[in-house]
């Protein structure tokens, strides 16, 4: 069992989730159960899956949960694009959040490769 707090990618993903929660506060009220909820749930899924994977036994289990987190990060990336295209997210906020999401995806990919090589 690993401590998820020690993973750099978990820290980045948690910070990204906080930023997304902050940014979605300005979304239209009618989107609270739509895009706001989808974006928040997908972003929170990234660090949550890392935490769950760390609570499992072995690198193979952690790699599997990292893979799930990677899928959630791709979902976040799309939802950010949708929010921008619907004019709910300023272009600058879109750029910053998307770049942070891509960084998390790269980190997850590297971690998955490392875990699979060791396993």
Please, are residues 83 and 27 in contact by the beta-carbon 8 Å criterion?
Answer: yes
pLDDT (average), residues 15-38? 96
* Topology annotation, domain 4-118: de novo design (two linked rop proteins) (1.20.1440)
pLDDT (average), residues 18-47? 97
The mean of the pLDDT values for the chain is: 96
User: pTM for this one?
Assistant: 0.95
Question: pLDDT for 64-84, tens place per residue?
Answer: 999 999 999 999 999 999 999
Which long-range CB contacts under 8 A does 77-85 form with residues at least 24 apart?
Answer: 77/101, 77/102, 77/105, 79/35, 79/38, 79/39, 79/42, 80/39, 82/35, 83/24, 83/27, 83/35, 83/39
Domains of the chain, residue spans: 4-118
Tell me the torsion sign for CA atoms 65, 66, 70, 72. positive
Question: pLDDT for 20-29, tens place per residue?
Answer: 999 999 999 9
Which long-range CB contacts under 8 A does 49-57 form with residues at least 24 apart?
Answer: 50/4, 50/7, 50/9, 50/10, 50/13, 51/4, 51/10, 53/4, 54/1, 54/2, 54/3, 54/4, 54/7, 54/10, 55/1, 55/4, 56/1, 57/1
pLDDT (average), residues 30-39? 96
Residue 119: pLDDT band with limits 50, 70, 90 = low
Taking each helix axis from N to C end, the angle separating 91-118 and 59-85, rounded to the nearest 10 degrees, works out to: 160
Residue 1: pLDDT band with limits 50, 70, 90 = confident
Q: Quick one: what percent of the chain has pLDDT higher than 90? A: 95
């Amino acid at each position: 069992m690993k401590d998820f707090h020690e993973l750099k990618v978990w820290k980045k993903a948690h910070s990204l989730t906080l930023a997304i929660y902050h940014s979605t506060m300005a979304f239209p009220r009618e989107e609270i159960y739509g895009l706001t909820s989808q974006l928040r749930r997908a972003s929170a899924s990234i660090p949550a899956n890392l935490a769950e994977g760390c609570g499992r036994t072995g690198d193979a289990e952690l790699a599997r949960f990292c893979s799930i987190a990677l899928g959630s990060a791709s979902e976040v990336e799309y939802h950010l694009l949708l929010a921008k295209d619907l004019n709910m997210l300023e272009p600058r906020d879109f750029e910053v959040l998307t770049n942070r999401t891509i960084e998390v995806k790269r980190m997850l990919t590297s971690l998955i490769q490392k875990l699979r090589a060791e396993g």
